[in-house]
Structure 1
Amino acid sequence: MSNLSFVAPTRNSPWGTYLSQIDAVEPYLGHLARWVETLRRPKRALIVDVPIELDNGTIAHYEGYRVQHSLTRGPGKGGVRYHPDVTLEEVMALSAWMTIKNAAVNLPYGGAKGGIRLDPKVLSKKELERVTRRYTSEIGIIIGPQQDIPAPDVNTNGQIMAWMMDTYSMNVGATATGVVTGKPIALGGSLGRVQATGRGVFVIGREAMRRLGISMEGARIAVQGFGNVGSIAAKLFAAAGAQIVAVQDHTGTILNERGFDMQNLLDHVAQTGGVAGFSGGDRIANEDFWKVKSDVLIPAALEGQINKERAEGLQTRLVLEGANGPTTPDGDAVLADRGIVVVPDVIANSGGVTVSYFEWVQDFSSFFWTEDEINVRLDKIITGAFKHIWDTSEHHKISLRTAAFVVACTRVLEAREERGLYP
Structure 2
Amino acid sequence: MTTTPTPYDDAKAQLKRAQEILGFSDDDYELLATPRREITVAVPVKRDDGTKTVLRGYRIQHNWSRGPGKGGVRYSERVDMEEVRALAMLMTWKAALLNLPYGGAKGGIAFNPAEYSKAEIERITRRYVHELFPVIGPDIDIPAPDMGTDAQTMAWFMDTYSQAVGYTQPGIVTGKPVSLGGSLGRAEATSLGVYFTTRAALGHLGIEENDATVAVQGFGKVGRGAARFMDKAGMKVVAISDVFGAIYNADGIDTDALGEHVDETGKVVDFAGAEAMDPEELLLLDVDAVVPAAIEAVITKDNAADVKARVVVEGANGPTTGSGDAILNERGVMVVPDILANSGGVLVSYYEWVQSRDNFFWDLERVQKSQEAAMLAVWDEVVEFSKEHSVNLREAAVSMAVERVLDAHKMRGLFP
Sort the TM-score into its range (normalised by shorter chain).
over 0.9
1:265 aligned onto 2:227: no
Instruction: Report the TM-score when normalising by structure 2.
Output: 0.98
**Contact map agreement 2:68 2:139 (CA 8 A) in 1:** yes
Q: CA deviation at 1:28?
A: 2.1
In the alignment, is the contact (CA less than 8 A) between 2:77 and 2:110 conserved in 1? yes
The answer to whether the aligner puts 1:150 opposite 2:143 as a matched pair is yes
* Offset, 1:30: 3.4
C-alpha RMSD over aligned residues: 1.2
- Which letter maps to 2:250? E
**2:343 corresponds to which of 350, 354, 358:** 350
User: Counterpart of 1:152 in structure 2: which amino acid?
Assistant: P
1:371 counterpart residue number: 364
Residue 391 of structure 1 corresponds to: 384
Q: Which residue of 2 aligns with 1:209?
A: 202
Aligned to 1:221: 214
* 2:219 alignment partner AA: F
2:112 paired residue among 119, 130, 144: 119
The 5 A counterparts of 1:28-47 are: 28-31=21-24, 34-47=27-40
Report % sequence identity. 47
Hey, what's the Cα distance between the residues in 1 that align with 2:374 and 2:85?
Answer: 27
Matches of 1:345 and 1:339, distance apart in 2: 18
Q: In the alignment, is the contact (CA less than 8 A) between 1:67 and 1:113 conserved in 2? A: yes
CA distance in 1, matches of 2:150, 2:34: 29
Partner of 1:92: helix, strand, or coil? helix
Match of 2:80 in 1: 87
Structure 2 residue aligned with 1:4: none
SS at match of 2:216: strand
Give me the whole-angstrom Cα distance separating, in 2, the residues matched to 1:28 and 1:376: 33
Q: 1:19 aligns with which of 12, 15, 20?
A: 12
- The residue identity in structure 2 corresponding to 1:89 is E
Residue 45 of structure 2 corresponds to 52
Deviations 1:359-383 (A, max 9, x none): 0000000000000000011011111
| Residue ranges of structure 1 left out of the alignment (5+ in a row) | 1-8
Alpha carbons of structure 1 residues 148 and 344: separation in structure 2 relative to 1, 3 Å: same
The residue identity in structure 2 corresponding to 1:262 is T
Equivalent residue for 1:78? 71
For residues 239 and 393 of structure 2, the distance between their equivalents in structure 1, rounded to whole angstroms, comes to: 25
Aligned partner of 1:316 in structure 2 is 309
Q: CA offsets, 1:9-28, max 9 Å, x none?
A: 96531101101101111122
Cα contact 1:67–1:95 (8 A) shared by 2: yes
Q: In structure 2, do the counterparts of structure 1 residues 413 and 10 end up closer, same or farther at CA, with 3 Å as the change threshold?
A: farther
Is 356-365 or 212-221 further displaced after alignment? 212-221
1:284-312 superposed Cα distances (whole Å, 9 cap, x missing partner): 12222222111000000111110012111
Q: How do 1:142-181 and structure 2 match up within 5 A?
A: 142-181=135-174
Q: Does 2:273 correspond to 1:280?
A: yes
Sort the Cα spacing of 1:330 and 1:141 in 2 relative to 1 into closer, same or farther, 3 A. Answer: same
Query: 1:406 offset after TM fit, Å?
Result: 1.0
Which 5+ residue runs of structure 2 have no aligned equivalent?
none
The count of corresponding residues between Structure 1 and Structure 2 is: 415
Q: Does 1:190 align with 2:183?
A: yes
Q: Tell me, in whole angstroms, the C-alpha distance in 1 between the residues paired with 2:25 and 2:183.
A: 37
AA aligned opposite 2:267: G
1:332 paired to 2:325: yes
SS of aligned partner of 2:62: strand
- Mapped partners of 1:256, 1:311: distance in 2: 23
Residue 391 (structure 1) shift: 0.4
Q: Which amino acid aligns with 2:246?
A: T
- Which amino acid in structure 2 is aligned with residue 377 of structure 1? S
Q: Secondary structure at the match of 1:48?
A: strand
Deviation string 1:343-399 (CA, Å, 9 cap, x unpaired) is: 000000000000000000000000000000000110111111111111000100101
Within 2, Cα distance between the matches of 1:290 and 1:391?
A: 28
Q: Is the 8 A contact 1:32 1:414 kept in 2?
A: no
Instruction: State the secondary structure of the residue aligned to 2:44.
Output: strand
Inter-partner Cα distance in structure 2 for 1:100 and 1:196:
18
Paired with 2:75 and 2:82, the residues of 1 have a C-alpha distance of 15
The 3 A distance-change label for structure 1 pair 86 and 410 is same
Deviates more, 1:33-42 or 1:199-208: 33-42
Supply the distance in 1 between the matched residues of 2:279 and 2:355 (Cα, whole angstroms). 42
8 Å CA contact 1:10, 1:16 repeated in 2 = no
Amino acid at match of 2:186: R
Using the size of structure 1 for normalisation, the TM-score is 0.96
Amino acid at match of 2:32: L
- Correspondence for 2:405: 412
For residues 344 and 67 of structure 1, the distance between their equivalents in structure 2, rounded to whole angstroms, comes to 22
Match of 1:97 in 2: 90
Q: Distance in 2 between matches of 1:221 and 1:290?
A: 10
